[in-house]
Amino acid sequence: MTVRHGDIPERLGAHVSVQGGVETGPARGMAIGASAIQIFTKTPNQWREPVILPASRDAFEREYERSGLRSIVSHDSYLINLASPDTALNARSRDSFTRELERCESLGIPAVVSHPGNYIDEREAGLIRNAAAVTRCLEVVPGGVRILLETTAGSGTALGSRFEELAAIRDAVGEHVRHRVGFCADTCHLYAAGYDLVNDYDGVWSRFETAIGLAHLGCLHLNDSKTPFNSRRDRHELIAEGSLGPGPFRRIMTDPRFAGIPKILETPKGEDAVAGDRRMLRRLRAYARPRVPRGSPSR
């Protein structure tokens, strides 16, 4: 059976703040008119690991149900580096990532987006370290929470800028937990890494399908880029106001392959985060509507 784009409920939104507690996230999603959100379950630039108390967990569940949101994902801490050759940092990263999985399991968040990390010494060794750490963390936290490895821009010693490398990490994860590993594709990162969504949209996704498989795509981050194609720099810009322009986002919003995939903005918030996110979501929804050829009679 062919699934039409309009048959699948929209899953579109943004990363929202949880200042005041994780239970505040769903209401912030409602405020911007989102049908999907991404949150941090902890302060992303601190090692402190909060414990989700039962009262906070119950409040989060109530607010999420009330919100009508269709999708939610978490994003792990910026400090985590599961590919690090530094034994102390690697151990601390594993512990922090385990706590992240535990919080998601407690809250009922089905997936956590994670950067593959920086290998520092040798790329292949870093890949193996990341896969081993992912395997161990998933073993420690059984359940349904998935890890979505995010495509990266390719700066420095970051892993994950090539589709084949991401696939290799998943293939190196223990077979007994591999089904819990998927991927998040970030449009800014793809373009910065040399995947030309502007001039070769179909080719990029064909390469993704060949190397990884679109069935493993669990989330899309929709961000324009402040820097040119193949810059290897991770600098997000407002939708259609950067080097990607409107074309790739119009294609994504009308591509039936991505109809059921959560699409999350991580664009600059500006002085008024709510107004900024609302404006970007209106723009994306306009791209999703059928285009009426010029000169066509209006109804």
pLDDT in tens, 278-287: 999 999 999 9
Contact residues for 79 (Cβ-Cβ < 8 A; gap 6+): 44, 45, 46, 47, 93, 96
* CATH assignment at residue 280: 3.20.20.150
297 lies in some domain: no
Q: What is the pLDDT of residue 5?
A: 46
Distance CA 166, CA 169 (A): 5
pLDDT tens profile 23-79: 999 999 999 999 999 999 999 999 999 999 999 999 999 999 999 999 999 999 999
How many folded domains does the chain comprise? 1
Spans of the chain, pLDDT less than 70: 1-7, 292-299
Distance CA 26, CA 131 (A): 32
74 lies in some domain: yes
In angstroms, how far is CA 31 from the centroid of its own chain? 21
251 lies in some domain: yes
Q: What is the pLDDT of residue 8?
A: 77
Distance CA 248, CA 224 (A): 9
299 lies in some domain: no
Distance CA 256, CA 182 (A): 19
Q: What is the pLDDT of residue 298?
A: 45
295 lies in some domain: no
186 lies in some domain: yes
Structural domain range at position 229? 7-288
181 lies in some domain: yes
Q: What is the pLDDT of residue 294?
A: 63
1 lies in some domain: no
Q: CB neighbours (10 Å) of residue 91?
A: 12
Closest CA to 152 of 233, 208, 82, 249: 233
Q: What is the pLDDT of residue 291?
A: 73
Q: What is the pLDDT of residue 290?
A: 78
Closest CA to 25 of 70, 76, 50, 60: 60
Residue ranges of E strands in 52-161: 71-75, 111-114, 146-150
Distance CA 224, CA 289 (A): 20
Q: CB neighbours (10 Å) of residue 40?
A: 20
